[in-house]
């Protein structure tokens, strides 16, 4: 009995000692412990840390890590349990280069230590630093107004690929801006500026914090860096109460033209298509207003309309959203006359001025006539234009005859063997100009100076020719007839008409005024 009592006593003492040792071990284990393996890294690289807590620690980890968001973005990699401890593996991404701090994380009365981190600028392949900048943006955009968040990266690396995702913020829509680049030359150093970003639209009024997705910096197909940018705080303003949801925010343009016309003139009860192109600057195509409600018999009497198709296109042009809605509408007029389709007026809200504006479209004119009336119109047109056409034809014939005379005269002068042949060619020239025939060379020269500008060289040749015609044979043999006829052809080809009466009057007035102003001065 005594032996049994001793064994029970020893067992009780062992259990008490075991419980006491566990209590002491639990008290000696710290409640919070943060392990940061390195204190220096490059911007665009990540830092893995671990947070150790007790196993029964049950606070919200996201709320606990919220102080990190001032200078870091983070993600939780894993959670594990080990010897009554809970270990969190956390990956940090610095939001900018510089000297950053991992702040003290507090839980009840327990806190972690402040850890200082040095984040250096990233480097290109030739050890030149890389610059990352977020361009200025609007802090207070309107609802449904395009707000551009543009990132510029300057590096000496060539042919860089930037990759990212769309912004996922509640109550918004975003569109990626395609990457663009340009070359910057500063002395002997060549840099490349890469532009990338997002166009974001908010659907309702809100004060929001926009977390920008990370941008991957890919060189030769290998991701070199992953840049996490600071969040953007925006105050989205509500539109004025008179702006309906169907009114777009941004400038719009509207134009129209006809397709598939059945002939050069439209006929009643025939169908054609009118195509409308509605373009929106900084407006997605799905937000552009519809044109279908603009067509009904009460507005456009005597014309039937049938929608055919609508094509919606949204593109990014010069870093801005460009929406386009192309609508084909078939129409059938039922009466003769000019096609009477009412003008279209569309409203839009201008975010720059904060005013409601409108754009108006006047349809291209189109004449609708029955085929009998079209034939009658053609006959009347020919009758009216016939006298004018006849005069034009006669004028062209006269000019063509003159051209033939000019060629004949030039050839005759070129092949002339005597001075009399040259004079005969000049007489033929008079016939081409409709001057008097069989006139003297002096009279011919007067006619020339009346129509054309004065030519001293031609006058000298004509007078020389006149003297040689009446000279003796000895003098004619001494002269150089080939040189005379070649120079005659050249002078005739350089003729220039005198300016008309109106031009002479204008030149005279300008000359008179300049003389008067010079005298006054």
Q: Looking at residue 400, what DSSP letter applies? A: H
Task: Choose between 315 and 292: higher pLDDT.
Answer: 315
Regarding whether 364 and 257 lie in a shared domain, the answer is yes
pLDDT of residue 29: 47
Domain final position from 92, 120, 148: 120
pLDDT in tens, 42-51: 999 999 999 8
Per-residue burial over 389-399, b if 16 or more Cβ lie within 10 Å, else e, is eeeeeeeeeee
Distance CA 439, CA 427 (A): 8
Exposed/middle/buried for 475, CB within 10 Å: 0-12, 13-18, 19+?
exposed
Which residue in 350, 351, 347 sits closest to 359, CA to CA? Answer: 347
327 inside domain: yes
Query: Which bin fits 89, alpha (ψ -120 to 50), beta or left (φ > 0)?
Result: beta
The answer to whether position 378 is within a domain reads no
Indicate whether 190 and 162 sit together in one domain.
yes
Q: Which two structure tokens, joined as six digits, stand for 367? A: 């004449």
Stretch 223-241: mean pLDDT? 95
Question: What's the confidence (pLDDT) of residue 475?
Answer: 63
280 found inside a domain: yes
Structure tokens at 350: 């201008």
The owner of tokens 């009477």 is 340
Q: What is the pLDDT of residues 433-482, one digit of tens each?
A: 778 877 788 888 888 888 787 778 778 888 887 777 777 666 666 567 77
157-167 pLDDT, tens per residue? Answer: 998 999 999 99
194 and 155 Cβ atoms separated by less than 8 Å: yes
Q: What is the CATH number of the domain that holds 48?
A: 2.60.40
C-alpha separations of 471 from 216, 419, 420, 466, 468 in Å: 99, 11, 12, 9, 5
User: Is 84 part of a structural domain of the chain?
Assistant: yes
Whether residues 267 and 328 share a domain: the answer is yes
Q: Is residue 453 part of a domain?
A: yes
| 125-162 pLDDT tens trace | 888 999 999 999 999 999 999 999 999 999 999 989 99
DSSP 3-state of 260? coil
Q: Residue 109 above 90 pLDDT?
A: no
Tokens of 252: 């719009």
Supply the Cα-derived Rg of the chain in whole angstroms: 46
The encoded tokens of residue 444 equal: 């011919």
257, 173: one domain:
no
β-partners of residue 133 are: 152
Which residue among 120, 154, 173 closes a domain?
A: 120
Cα–Cα distance list, 492 to 388, 409, 426, 496, 497 (Å)? 32, 10, 10, 9, 12
Distance CA 329, CA 306 (A): 6
Q: Tokens 């006058």 appear where?
A: 459
Phi-psi region of 438 (alpha: psi -120 to 50; beta: other; left: phi over 0): left
Can you give the pLDDT at residue 21?
Answer: 44
- Among 122-126, 143-147, 218-222, 267-271, the range with the most confident prediction by mean pLDDT is 143-147
Tokens of 395: 């004028």
In this structure, are 258 and 361 located in the same domain? yes
Domain-embedded: residue 513: no
Whether 41 and 112 map to the same domain: the answer is: yes
Neighbours of 349 (CB within 10 A): 23
- Does residue 54 sit in the same domain as residue 153? no
SS3 state at 166: coil
Mean pLDDT of all residues belonging to the chain: 83
Tell me, yes or no, whether 204 and 268 share the same domain. no
Same domain, 434 and 392: yes
Lowest-confidence region among 28-42, 165-179, 210-224, 346-360: 28-42
Residues 44, 514: Cα–Cα separation, whole Å: 73
The domain total for the chain is 5
Q: Note the Cα 372 to chain centre separation in Å.
A: 49
Domain residues for the domain of 272 are 252-369
Same domain? 267 vs 324: yes
- Going by their DSSP bridges, the two strands 106-107 and 320-333 should be labelled as unpaired
Query: Does residue 285 contact residue 313 with C-beta atoms inside 8 Å?
Result: yes
Last residue of a domain, one of 120, 141, 164: 120
The whole-number average pLDDT for the span 380-408 is 83
Using the predicted structure, report yes or no on whether residue 97 has a pLDDT greater than 90.
yes
| DSSP, res 36 | -
- Look up the pTM and report it: 0.66
Are residue 213 and residue 153 in the same domain, yes or no? yes
**511 inside domain:** no
Q: Give the Å distances, CA to CA, from 286 to 310, 312, 325, 329, 439.
A: 11, 7, 8, 19, 83
Q: What angle do CA 113, 118, 123 make, to 5 degrees?
A: 155
- Is 241 part of a structural domain of the chain? no
Q: How far is CA 119 from the centre of its chain?
A: 39
Collapsing DSSP states into helix, strand and coil, what is residue 398?
helix
Question: Quick one: CA dihedral 114, 120, 121, 125, positive or negative?
Answer: negative
- Pick from 17-26, 61-70, 230-239: least confident: 17-26
For residues 141 and 146, give the distance between their C-alpha atoms in angstroms, rounded to a whole number.
8
Condensed to tens digits (0 to 9), the pLDDT of residues 490-512 reads 877 777 666 654 555 465 556 55
Residues with Cβ within 8 Å of residue 443, at least 6 apart in sequence:
436
Question: Does residue 25 surpass a pLDDT of 50?
Answer: no
Three-state DSSP string of 69-102 = HHCEEEEEEEEEEECCEEEEEEEEEECCCEEEEE
User: What whole-number distance in Å separates Cα of residue 342 and Cα of residue 357?
Assistant: 20
| Average of per-residue pLDDT across 223-237 | 95
Query: At residue 417, does pLDDT exceed 80?
Result: no
Whether residues 414 and 468 fall in one domain: yes
């Amino acid at each position: 009995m005594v032996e049994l009592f001793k064994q029970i006593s020893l067992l009780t003492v062992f259990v008490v000692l075991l419980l006491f040792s566990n209590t002491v071990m639990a008290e000696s284990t710290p409640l919070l412990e943060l392990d940061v393996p390195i204190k220096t890294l490059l911007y665009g690289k990540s830092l893995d840390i671990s947070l150790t807590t007790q196993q029964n620690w049950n606070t919200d980890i996201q709320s606990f890590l919220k102080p990190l968001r001032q200078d870091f973005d983070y993600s939780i990699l894993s959670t594990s349990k080990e010897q009554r401890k809970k270990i969190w593996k956390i990956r940090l991404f610095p939001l900018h280069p510089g000297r950053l701090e991992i702040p003290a994380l507090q839980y009840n009365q327990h806190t972690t230590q402040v850890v200082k981190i040095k984040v250096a600028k990233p480097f290109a392949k030739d050890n030149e630093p890389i610059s990352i900048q977020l361009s200025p943006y609007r802090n207070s955009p309107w609802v449904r107004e395009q707000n551009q968040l543009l990132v510029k990266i300057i590096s000496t690396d060539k042919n860089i690929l930037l990759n990212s995702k769309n912004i996922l913020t509640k109550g918004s829509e975003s569109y990626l801006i395609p990457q663009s680049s340009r070359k910057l030359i500063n002395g002997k150093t060549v840099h490349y500026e890469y532009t990338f970003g997002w166009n974001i639209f908010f659907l309702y009024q809100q004060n929001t914090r926009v977390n920008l997705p990370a941008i991957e910096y890919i060189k030769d197909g290998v991701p070199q860096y992953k840049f996490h940018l600071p969040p953007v705080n925006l105050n989205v303003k509500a539109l004025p109460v008179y702006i309906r949801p169907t009114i777009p925010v941004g400038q719009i343009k509207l134009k129209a033209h006809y397709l598939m016309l059945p002939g050069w003139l439209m006929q009643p009860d025939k169908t054609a298509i009118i195509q409308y192109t509605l373009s929106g600057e900084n407006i997605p195509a799905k937000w552009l207003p519809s044109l279908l409600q603009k067509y009904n018999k009460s507005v456009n009497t005597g014309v039937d309309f049938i929608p055919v198709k609508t094509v919606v296109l949204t593109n990014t042009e010069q870093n801005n959203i460009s929406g386009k809605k192309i609508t084909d509408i078939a129409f059938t007029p039922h009466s003769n006359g000019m096609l009477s389709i009412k003008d279209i007026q569309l409203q839009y809200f201008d975010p720059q001025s904060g005013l409601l504006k409108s754009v108006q479209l006047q349809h291209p004119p189109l004449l609708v006539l029955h085929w009998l009336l079209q034939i009658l119109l053609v006959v009347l047109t020919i009758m009216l234009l016939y006298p004018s056409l006849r005069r034009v034809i006669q004028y062209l014939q006269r000019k063509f005859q003159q051209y033939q005379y000019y060629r004949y005269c030039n050839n005759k002068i070129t092949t002339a063997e005597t001075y009399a042949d040259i004079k005969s060619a000049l007489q033929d020239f008079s016939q081409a100009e409709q001057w008097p025939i069989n006139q003297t060379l002096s009279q011919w020269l007067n006619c020339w100076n009346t129509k054309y500008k004065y030519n001293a060289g031609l006058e000298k040749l004509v007078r020389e020719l006149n003297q040689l015609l009446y000279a003796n044979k000895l003098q004619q043999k001494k002269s150089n007839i080939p040189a005379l006829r070649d120079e005659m052809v050249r002078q005739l080809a350089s003729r220039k008409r005198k300016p008309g009466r109106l031009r002479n009057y204008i030149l005279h007035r300008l000359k008179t005024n300049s003389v008067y102003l010079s005298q006054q001065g």
